[in-house]
């Protein structure tokens, strides 16, 4: 069996499972971003716009929406690469069953990364549709924010996948959410400019993919993107994606290849 065929079967399996459980993802995929856009973008945004004319002359909703898009893909990717992945490794032994077929470990990893990409793409498209409803989208070129958001999510997916490949239980996942996902959600530039943070925290934020994902998505939505800045943001996120993929691949091959 070719690598692409094997990866396709892994994606097919994940899609069949998702078809049974998709209703449980409505809150995180649709309702939670909707509530944030309405409460923060319209509710809090009315006070921000009235008091200071927005953020740098930009209405707060327009400033906030692309940042929330990037954080949504981060959270979706993290969720897909923690408990579901460990369940297939440890509790359900799904991977053992898959590897009893002609599917190889490398096919399995490629399929899982492809599935996470599709999930993040799904979230990005839904969120973009909500941005249109809220009147944030002003140009067809804003569609480029979708691949930017997908790249931002994948920059978290593959490193977390590598972390999960080392786990024998779920004890480390709470710390990922507590010390990585939640601080970045609040301090990664989605809700206010990074320049408002102390210099030390700005430096830490810029070492993470979320700050670059937020900046790229925001510049695409606001129409002030520059080639140099965009290239830097894409490069940082790409390094995380590729580095995480190869580390995860090596760890999973060592763990699953018997």
**Helix-strand-coil percent breakdown of the chain, rounded to 5?**
80, 0, 20
201-231: pLDDT as tens digits: 999 999 999 999 999 999 999 999 999 999 9
Domain definitions of the chain by residue range: 3-256
Let me know if 167 is exposed, middle or buried by CB neighbors in 10 A (0-12, 13-18, 19+).
middle
Is residue 1 over pLDDT 70? no
Is residue 66 predicted with pLDDT exceeding 70?
yes
CB burial of 32-58 (b: ≥16 within 10 Å; e: otherwise) equals ebbebbeebbeeebeebbeeeebbeeb
Interval 125-157: pLDDT, tens: 999 999 999 999 988 889 999 999 999 999 999
Separation of alpha carbons 107 and 61, rounded Å: 42
Q: Is the pLDDT of residue 258 over 70?
A: no
- The confidence score (pLDDT) of residue 207 equals 94
Q: Is the pLDDT of residue 83 over 90?
A: yes
Distance, in Å, from the CA atom of 44 to the CA atom of 182, rounded to the nearest integer, reads 20
pLDDT at res. 106: 87
* % of the chain residues with pLDDT over 70: 98
* Reported pTM: 0.93
**Across all residues in the chain, what is the average pLDDT?**
91
pLDDT value at position 2?
A: 60
What percent of the chain lies above the pLDDT cut of 90? 68
pLDDT value of position 33: 78
Residue 28 clears pLDDT 80, i.e. is over it: no
């Amino acid at each position: 069996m070719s690598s692409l065929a094997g990866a396709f079967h892994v994606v097919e399996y994940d899609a069949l499972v998702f078809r049974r459980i998709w209703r449980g993802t409505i809150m995180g995929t649709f309702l939670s971003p909707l509530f944030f856009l309405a409460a923060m973008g319209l509710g809090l945004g009315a006070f921000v716009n009235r008091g200071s004319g927005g953020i740098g002359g930009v209405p707060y909703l327009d400033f906030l929406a692309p940042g929330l898009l990037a954080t949504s893909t981060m959270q979706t990717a993290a969720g897909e690469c923690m408990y579901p992945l460990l369940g297939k490794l440890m509790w359900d032994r799904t991977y053992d069953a898959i590897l009893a077929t002609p599917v190889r470990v490398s096919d399995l990893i490629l399929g899982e990364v492809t599935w996470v990409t599709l999930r993040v793409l799904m979230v990005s498209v839904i969120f973009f549709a909500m941005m249109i409803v809220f009147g944030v989208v002003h140009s067809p070129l804003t569609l480029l924010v979708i691949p930017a958001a997908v790249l931002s999510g994948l920059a978290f997916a593959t490193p977390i996948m590598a972390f999960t490949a080392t786990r024998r239980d779920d004890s480390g996942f709470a710390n990922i959410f507590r010390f990585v996902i939640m601080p970045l959600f609040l301090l990664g530039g989605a809700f206010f400019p990074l320049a408002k943070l102390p210099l030390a925290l700005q430096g830490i934020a810029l070492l993470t993919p979320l700050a670059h994902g937020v900046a790229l998505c925001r510049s695409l939505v606001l129409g002030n993107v520059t080639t140099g800045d965009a290239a830097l943001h894409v490069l940082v996120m790409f390094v995380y994606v590729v580095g995480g993929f190869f580390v995860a691949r090596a760890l999973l091959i060592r763990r699953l290849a018997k």
